[in-house]
């Protein structure tokens, strides 16, 4: 009886682990989409207002409040550090590169810069969707299969 209960728990736990890996792929894609929206909003704010970087990224959907008394770039990098378990290293690198160039040139150059990074993020989103299509089901099935195999070995 104890082995049966342990086997059921083992199958559910391994299935949950597989599901969490699968969910992480979807979360990455959704986070990239959020940054695309943030950049599009910033693009329109730059085009139609003469706000500072802090005001442009104030309502950024990341629940991070920028402090105008500190430099923008370190705060931008600090905000991105929250996403190191969600996004891949290449995503973080791309977003950090975006922050280094931001605010260093005229308005039209800034707008072109943001448009470029929107396109780059859209490519990352497409890659994330491809990864979801390829790996999501595998993670779920593999987690369940490992648990089932271990529970059969236990019995």
pTM for the predicted model, two decimal places? 0.83
Q: 98-154: per-residue pLDDT in tens?
A: 888 876 777 788 888 889 999 999 999 999 999 999 988 898 888 888 888 888 887
Q: 1-32: per-residue pLDDT in tens?
A: 788 888 888 889 998 998 999 999 999 999 99
Which range of residues forms the domain containing residue 123? 2-154
Nearest to 118 by CA among 35, 30, 60: 35
Look at residue 8 in the predicted model and tell me its pLDDT.
87
Residue 5 CA to residue 1 CA, distance in Å, equals 6
* Kind plus residue range of the DSSP H or E element containing 71: none
- Which is more confidently placed, 126 or 74? 126
Look at residue 83 in the predicted model and tell me its pLDDT.
87
pLDDT range class, residue 62, cuts 50, 70, 90: low
Tokens of 151: 């529970």
Nearest to 98 by CA among 36, 49, 46: 36
Residue 153 CA to residue 127 CA, distance in Å, equals 38
Counted domains in the chain: 1
């Amino acid at each position: 009886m104890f082995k049966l209960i342990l086997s059921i728990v083992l199958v559910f736990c391994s299935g949950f682990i597989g599901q969490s890996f699968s969910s992480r792929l979807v979360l990455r894609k959704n986070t990239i989409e959020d940054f695309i929206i943030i950049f599009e909003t910033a693009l329109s704010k730059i085009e139609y207002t003469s706000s500072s970087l802090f005001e442009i990224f104030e309502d950024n959907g990341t629940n991070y409040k920028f402090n105008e008394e500190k430099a923008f770039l370190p705060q931008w990098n600090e905000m991105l550090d929250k996403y190191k378990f969600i996004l891949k290293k290449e995503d973080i690198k791309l977003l950090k590169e975006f922050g280094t160039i931001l605010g260093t040139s005229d308005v039209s150059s800034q707008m072109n810069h943001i448009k470029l990074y929107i396109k780059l993020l859209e490519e990352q989103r497409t890659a994330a969707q491809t990864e979801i299509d390829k790996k999501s089901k595998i993670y779920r099935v593999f987690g369940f299969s490992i648990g089932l195999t271990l529970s059969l070995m236990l019995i």
